[in-house]
Amino acid sequence: MSTGDFNRRAFLRQAGATSAALSVAAPAMAARPSPKMSGRVIGANDRIQVACVGVGGRGHYVTGVFHKIGQDTNNCAVVGVCDVYQRRVNSNKEQYKCDGTLDYREILARKDVDAVIVATPDHWHARIALEAMDAGKDVYLEKPMCHTIDEARQLVNTVKETKRVLQVGSQTTSGDQWHKARKAIADGMIGKHIMSQGSYHRNSREGEWNWKIDEDAGPHTKGEAYVDWKMWLGPAPKRDWNPDRFFRFRKYWDYSGGVATDLFFHVAAPMNICWGEPQFPSKVMASGGIYGGPAFEKDREVPDTFHLIAEYAKGYSVVLSSSMANSQHIPGLIRGKDASLIMVEHGRFEGHADHITVRPEVRGGNPEYLAKYGKEEIKIPVENNDPMRTHVSNFLDCMRTRNKPTLDVETAARAQVLISMSVMSCRQGKVLYFDESKWKVSDKPVKA
């Protein structure tokens, strides 16, 4: 089922329906718009109430950050958690001293919830975020923003339509280095942007593909081991209970784009911030494979080694490289005609650095540029903040001011299109083109 088949609004028309009805099955929805709900106006001193949908590894952590900020400032509180796995509902409910449910629609129907954290696997991101915005909630939406390009389009349109605040949870974008790089580029410190490159390499057998499976968990049991498997699958193709898919969803295309969506999103999103004006790619090609040997081969669809090349209409390109079977990075940098901006000396593009470096093109360089900036490297200091806490605080601030958050939907959509097209290109073995006026991907160049 594609997201186009969802009628999220039809459910909201019935949001007052009994919780008994809510607990039965995922909603059957017809495509008819209904009036949207507006959220509460939050004053500077009002306490913001949040609930998290999907309290697995990430959701548990992010909820903890909101909870801690609430403890420190008394300005926000976690009032609900939701998961389709009863054990995770129980443990998070107990830890955060709040309500818990197996059904996210109960969270969305609550009037006392101002914002929803969405930390489910990727195939559920858009649907829950769209329904939450229709229900008048602001949304902290984990990266990747969504699973398909059409979902990205719907999210952009729905943020515009509902005027909700949506922050995409690539917390690295709250690091100071991107904002310093953005200013340096805008000030002309690299000349014309030619190419950005980055990488994401690690070597981990345990990794995200071999996470622990709770042997007792499943849909055919009762009590804390119960999993609402039908709800977990949601918009994905139906299939019988499979604990490997439940606990290790990143191995499968139905729920993930592999390294591209899991890790490259953290590189593509900040690059778009550095460039000043975020951009859709015009042409994308990608390839990769399962090369990592026995520890990496088990029942997995996604490559462990994956690379993409993209072109942009403004006249520059992007190269991203990754392997989960080798930890050596290629340097993360933004190349200009007159100088390069070295984002991290140690290579991992989105890793923290206490400075970024402008390295001029001396040989064959631009005399005017060299007269202005000199031939020596210029180190620009970077503030050492906590990106995660900064990112969440920025979301909470924007809920009060209604300003655009750091990783707003428009910027995130441009990163998402690059990432999603790279997955399509790799899987189809094709060079793909993007027509941004129609949000359309094709294997034929877009006519001017």
Residue 88 beta carbon to ligand NAD: minimum distance, rounded to whole angstroms: 5
> Which pairing describes strands 76-82 and 48-53: parallel, antiparallel, or unpaired?
parallel
Rounded Cα gap, residues 324 and 259, in angstroms: 8
Segment contacting ligand NAD by CB under 6 A, of 36-44, 113-121, 299-307, 433-441: 113-121
Cis amide bond preceding 33, omega within 30: no
Nearer to ligand NAD, 27 or 331 (CB): 27
Report the sign of the C-alpha dihedral through residues 267, 146, 16, 53, in that order. negative
Binder among 39, 70, 100, 121 for ligand NAD (CB under 6 A): 121
Name the residue with tokens 């939406």: 141
Nearer to ligand NAD, 232 or 433 (CB): 232
Nearer to ligand NAD, 266 or 307 (CB): 266
Of all helices (H) and strands (E), which one includes residue 180? helix 176-186
Site string for ligand NAD, 207-246 (x = CB under 6 A): ------------------------xx-x------------
119 is an interface residue for ligand NAD by CB under 6 A: yes
> Does residue 328 sit in helix, strand or coil?
coil
83 is an interface residue for ligand NAD by CB under 6 A: yes
Cα pseudo-dihedral 139, 144, 148, 153, rounded to 10: 40
Nearer to ligand NAD, 83 or 99 (CB): 83
Rounded Cα gap, residues 136 and 111, in angstroms: 9
Binder among 138, 142, 338, 361 for ligand NAD (CB under 6 A): 142
Q: Which amino acid is at 223?
A: G
Geometric angle at alpha carbon 62, from 200 and 255, rounded to 5°: 55
88 is an interface residue for ligand NAD by CB under 6 A: yes
Cα pseudo-dihedral 191, 195, 196, 202, rounded to 10: -140
8 is an interface residue for ligand NAD by CB under 6 A: no
Site string for ligand NAD, 405-434 (x = CB under 6 A): ------------------------------
- Find the binding residues for ligand NAD in span 258-277 (CB under 6 A): 262
Structure token digits, residue 204: 């981990």
11 is an interface residue for ligand NAD by CB under 6 A: no
Segment contacting ligand NAD by CB under 6 A, of 32-40, 76-84, 187-195, 274-282: 76-84
Nearby residues of 28 by Cβ (< 8 Å), 6 or more positions away: none
Q: What is the DSSP letter of 3?
A: G
Residue 44 beta carbon to ligand NAD: minimum distance, rounded to whole angstroms: 28
Are the beta carbons of 427 and 441 closer than 8 angstroms? no
Number of residues that bind ligand NAD (CB under 6 A): 27
122 is an interface residue for ligand NAD by CB under 6 A: yes
Residue 241 beta carbon to ligand NAD: minimum distance, rounded to whole angstroms: 13
Structure token digits, residue 93: 């409910």
173 is an interface residue for ligand NAD by CB under 6 A: no
Geometric angle at alpha carbon 125, from 119 and 127, rounded to 5°: 135
Q: Which residue is nearest to ligand NAD (CB)?
A: 56
Maximum Cα interatomic distance, the chain, rounded to a whole number of Å: 74
99 is an interface residue for ligand NAD by CB under 6 A: no
Binder among 6, 51, 59, 217 for ligand NAD (CB under 6 A): 59
Distances from the Cα of 197 to the Cαs of 2, 231, 274, 339, 365, in angstroms?
A: 33, 39, 12, 14, 21
Residue 440 beta carbon to ligand NAD: minimum distance, rounded to whole angstroms: 25
80 is an interface residue for ligand NAD by CB under 6 A: no
54 is an interface residue for ligand NAD by CB under 6 A: yes
Share of the chain residues as helix, strand and coil, in percent rounded to the nearest 5: 35, 20, 40
Geometric angle at alpha carbon 415, from 414 and 420, rounded to 5°: 100
Q: Where are the alpha helices (DSSP H) in 187-263?
A: 229-233, 243-247, 259
Binder among 53, 152, 302, 324 for ligand NAD (CB under 6 A): 53
Rounded Cα gap, residues 328 and 321, in angstroms: 11
Residue 426 beta carbon to ligand NAD: minimum distance, rounded to whole angstroms: 18
84 is an interface residue for ligand NAD by CB under 6 A: yes
Residue 85 beta carbon to ligand NAD: minimum distance, rounded to whole angstroms: 4
Residue 60 beta carbon to ligand NAD: minimum distance, rounded to whole angstroms: 7
Nearby residues of 56 by Cβ (< 8 Å), 6 or more positions away: 83, 85, 88, 119, 120
Nearer to ligand NAD, 169 or 175 (CB): 169
Binding site for ligand NAD (CB under 6 A): 53-54, 56-59, 82-85, 88, 104, 119-122, 124, 142-143, 169-171, 231-232, 234, 249, 262
